[in-house]
Structure 1
Amino acid sequence: MIFLRRVAIVVPRRATATRLRTVLVLSAVAATAVLVEADGPAHAAALPTGAVSLEAVNQAGRYVRHIDYLGQLDPVTSSSANQVKLDATFTVVNGLASPTCYSFQTKTGMFLRHRDYRLRVDANTGDATFRADATFCAVDGSVSGSVALVSYNYPNRRIRHRDFALWLDAYQDTAAFRADSSFRLVAPWAPGTTKGPVIPGLFADPHLAVFNGRYYLYPTTDGYASWAGTYYKAFSSTDLVNWTDHGVILDHGPDVSWADNSAWAPAVASANGRYYLYFSGGAASGNTAKQLGVAVADSPTGPFRDALGRPLVRNDQFSGGQAIDPMVFTDDDGRSYLYWGQGTARAVRLNPDMVSFDAAQARVITPSGYNEAPFVFKRNGLYYFMWSENDTRSEDYRVAYATGSSPLGPWTRRGVVLQKRLEVGIKGTGHHSVVRAPGSDTWYIAYHRFAVPAGNGTNRETAIDRMEFSTDGTIRSVLPTL
């Protein structure tokens, strides 16, 4: 997102509504959440993702800032200390509790949230209460180009400054309240010197693919305790830098009858003029073991529908390992192969319909050091089998690979190609995918890492770096970058 220095971003006005509801409308730069409060009509407002500062409309020169973890309204100028500028800068990200709303992340990796109606910043614990407390829906503010931020879990309350402290107060239909609860989104006081994650917010297990000359990114929505997310989003780009958010493409709740949580590690393949989304899922109650599903769509951005109404791979179908992390590789002859598994790596050739296979033909291909996240690609007639080692909660999570002469091996281990860089604060680099730039021999690797600087195994972000080869076809060590 490109900003003009200290120029407010104009937020468009939308149509009014009369009942409490949330609707998602997505564009190339922002998600629009339409929200109407119980106390009166409101207008939707669209926020850009990325770094911003928030200036009070009726206190010019004062900005939302955190100090000693508490939210307040303080003056910030070009001569302010760097720490003050950092404290007054937030990154607008995908709402932790809802993709139709927003969360605000600090430069230290914490999130703006309310507690006892006081605004403060805290580390994301991933539980439902924290996610709701840290999610706000945007409506038009009191003046053109401003926004008001409505609590996700208290929809009759808005963020408001009172005696320069930030509170979550019940909506009052007065000019004074509307002004106190309205903010302009302006250029960030501390824009940063690193490129940051590819897409702002907490996303993991990225599957990067090319369809019709355009890049598509399908990640796990992260930031949930026990990785209990329920939906997948799609993003697309022409340059791997500027991304369009296409919104939710599959939601386990309404879209999958046999799974309602643990929406993990999607992968998308194209065949038969259609697109197939392979995913992991679990149930919140009853049979909680993970299983693999497949959904189908006519577009790479969905919407996808469950193709079978049941798992593609059941948890009890094969002994050993957990049925997660599906990946599909399609060879030059048009044959497609499904890979999956934690603890045990399995592979099987898919039938031409892309939604079935002969279970008797499935084989175990587990290499030394394997934990999860298999990925296969082909270059110059050589097959590459890659995977993640160690646990995703460990800073030593990393990517290794082997080579072989067929999509099913046999495989010769070659070594680790992507791992942590503690000197720059990069940890837990793994669960990757690989893509070749169209019409070239330029390759990229997408992966997740602990969110910098304060992430962990459930607060992860997506990165992309170049992946290069030596003349003998071996993969050179990838240098993870900020």
Structure 2
Amino acid sequence: MNRLVAALVGLTLGAVIVVPSAHAATIATGARSLESVNFPGRFVTAAGRIDPVTSGSTAAAKRDATFTVLPGLASPSCYSFQVGGMFLRHYDFRLRLDVNAGTPAFRQDATFCAVDGSVAGSISLAAYNYPDHRIRHRDYQLWLDPYQDTAGFRADSSFRVTAPWAPKTNKGPVLPGLYADPHIVNFGGRYYLYPTTDGFASWSGTQFKAFSSTDLVNWTDHGVILDLGPGVSWADNSAWAPSIAERNGKYYFYFSGGMASGDTAKQLGVAVADSPTGPFRDALGRPLVRGGQFSGQAIDSMVFTDDDGQSYLYWGQGSVHAVRLNSDMISFDPAQVRSSKPSGYNEAPFVLKRNGTYYLMWSENDTRSEDYQVAYATGNSPFGPWTKRGVVLQKRTGQGILGTGHHSVVREPGTDTWYVAYHRFAVPGGNGINRETTIDRLHFNSDGTIRPITPTL
């Protein structure tokens, strides 16, 4: 029976399903397990069942019973449940684990709203797109069934949120959920991450978020800091690859955007705020770099500020463009733009300076390829000329780490300790639109070259 038919059966038969008023419930995000109320000791698992899990269960069984609870893919006031790169979703009213297809239908199928369960402290999960249906178990299998106002149904559809059976022991991903193109900075001794929100077909997301941390492990989600649709008049789609810079107490947020219809060329914008967590407002009311103004796609902007306080803007897919920014941080002289294409360059330029040497880093190959990787060159000025030194970050197939790229680098203040943030295919089951953000150490050799980075889980 297809969904539309099932949804209409009640009306065809003259029956009306009445869901009694229920109080919205909340679930703490992060790693959690869900225990059946009426079958204690059985937990929701990645197999779409409630299965017994004990301290003596295998590590695999414990992992299967541990979900990362995230703000809902279709609505941040609801929830989605992730295991690795896959999400719990309903399909033909059966619960299963699937790779995020990035479509509106998938996001709705994988979003559930929490209400109070049958006993104190428990929760029940209603489908975002079928609010009169709830997740319940039948013969230990999980189904999405129309609500029934009976004690049995309420018990079958209620779960206790417990500590995770498989606590997080690995370093990555550092952000729960699907995020790519991370830009990492340190403002005032606190680290901030600005990623692309991932998991959308054709990377069509519209919102930017900010996260912050004091230790690079525990991250605070500051929510949406810029939404292209209502916040930017010239873009409503393709919120990609942000970066940020500070000057005189103002924070300048550089981003890529496009229109969902009409001219689909990507353009670069700049927004401004009084805080690194926004809210940001479009500083110009128009693009900073128009699509087609320079060769290649106008994406992947970043700002490097030299020791003398001069800031430089870099961007571009296909070629890397560089220019001095004016002191207002929102304008430049187009006639002064310098363009180049280092061997292997595709996108995502990033510039840093150490001990008088300038480093231009970039991503090679396509982000949808498992061979997406980071290379670098050195030079004696912010404009080069650049001497390529080689690849420093690439896949580790033996560990299931693929598509390592679109990185950024930050130094721990007052030290020579450096970190690299980058994305990879979500582990497991990820692909070029299902990517996750992680962080590893970056080391320099005594001669100033960068030691190959070991991507870790």
| Equivalence for 1:349 | 324
Residues 66 and 404 from structure 1, CA distance in 2 versus in 1: closer, same or farther, beyond 3 angstroms?
Answer: closer
Which residue number in structure 2 is paired with residue 22 of structure 1?
A: none
Aligned to 1:57: 37
State the AA in 2 paired with 1:232. F
Between the aligned partners of 2:20 and 2:189, the Cα distance in structure 1 is 46
Residue 266 of structure 1 aligns with which residue? 242
> Conserved in 2, the CA contact under 8 Å of 1:94 and 1:200?
no
Counterpart of 2:79 (choices 99, 102, 121) is: 102
Q: Is the 8 A contact 1:99 1:248 kept in 2?
A: no
Deviation at 1:194? 2.6
Tell me the SS of whatever aligns to 1:48.
coil
Deviations 1:260-319 (A, max 9, x none): 11110010111131111111111110011100111111110111111111111100222x
Name the structure 1 match of 2:275. 299
User: In structure 1, how many angstroms separate the alpha carbons of the residues matched to 2:352 and 2:382?
Assistant: 8
Between the aligned partners of 1:205 and 1:247, the Cα distance in structure 2 is 17
Structure 2 Cα separation of the partners of residues 275 and 173 of structure 1 = 53
- Counterpart position of 1:424: 399
Count of residues in Structure 1 that have an aligned counterpart in Structure 2: 440
Unpaired segments of 5 or more residues in structure 2?
1-17
C-alpha spacing 1:182/1:376, structure 2 compared with 1 (3 Å): same
In percent, how many aligned pairs have the same letter?
A: 75
Is 2:223 the counterpart of 1:247? Answer: yes
Q: 1:10 matched to which residue of 2?
A: none
Describe the shift of the 1:476–1:306 C-alpha distance in structure 2 as closer, same or farther (beyond 3 A).
same
- Distance in 2 of aligned mates of 1:40 and 1:338: 57
CA RMSD between the two structures: 1.8
Q: 1:387 aligns to what SS in structure 2?
A: strand
State whether residues 99 and 247 of structure 1, in contact with CA within 8 Å, keep that contact through their aligned partners in structure 2.
Answer: no
What is the 5 A alignment of 1:120-139?
120-139=96-115
Give the deviation of 1:401 after TM superposition. 0.7
Q: Distance in 2 between matches of 1:278 and 1:96?
A: 25
Offset of 1:94 from its aligned partner? 4.0
Alignment equivalent of 1:332, drawn from 297, 300, 307: 307
Q: State the 1:150 CA deviation.
A: 2.5
Amino acid aligned to 1:85: K
For residue 63 of structure 2, give the secondary structure of its aligned residue in structure 1.
Answer: helix
Q: Distance in 2 between matches of 1:113 and 1:60?
A: 23
Residues 1:235 and 1:339: Cα distance change in structure 2 (over 3 Å): same
Alignment of 1:144-163 (within 5 A): 144-163=120-139
**Equivalent residue for 2:438?**
463
Q: Is the 8 A contact 1:434 1:446 kept in 2?
A: yes
SS at match of 2:217: coil
> Residue 48 of structure 1: which of 28, 34, 40 is its match?
28
SS of 2:26's equivalent? Answer: strand
Q: Check the 8 A contact 2:288/2:331 in 1, yes or no.
A: yes
Higher mean Cα deviation, 54-63 or 140-149? 140-149
* 5+ residue gaps, structure 1: 1-37
**Change beyond 3 A, Cα 1:172–1:299:** farther
Residue of 162, 183, 190 corresponding to 1:207: 183
Q: TM-score, normalised by structure 1?
A: 0.87
Q: Which position in structure 1 is the counterpart of 2:337?
A: 362
Tell me the residue number matched to 1:73.
Answer: 50
Amino acid at match of 2:215: D
Q: Please tell me whether the aligned partners of residues 345 and 372 of structure 1 are also in contact (alpha carbons under 8 angstroms).
A: yes
Q: Is the 8 A contact 2:172 2:439 kept in 1?
A: no
Deviations 1:185-236 (CA, angstroms, capped at 9, x unpaired): 1122233653330111111000000011100000001111111111111100
Match of 2:163 among 187, 190, 210: 187
Q: Deviations over 1:344-391 (max 9, x none)?
A: 110111111111111111110321110000001111121111100111
The answer for the alignment partner of 2:61 in structure 1 is 84
Aligned-partner Cα distance in 2 for 1:61–1:292: 53
Name the CA distance, whole Å, in 2 between partners of 1:373 and 1:131.
28
Partner of 2:428: 453
Q: Is the 8 A contact 1:90 1:104 kept in 2?
A: yes
CA, structure 1 residues 41+405, in 2 after alignment: closer, same or farther (shift >3 Å)?
A: farther
Instruction: Assess if the C-alpha contact under 8 Å between 2:171 and 2:438 holds in 1.
Output: no
1:127 Cα shift?
Answer: 1.6
2:382 counterpart residue number:
407
Corresponding position of 1:227: 203
Q: Secondary structure at the match of 1:129?
A: helix
Structure 2: how far apart are the matches of 1:232 and 1:46? 24
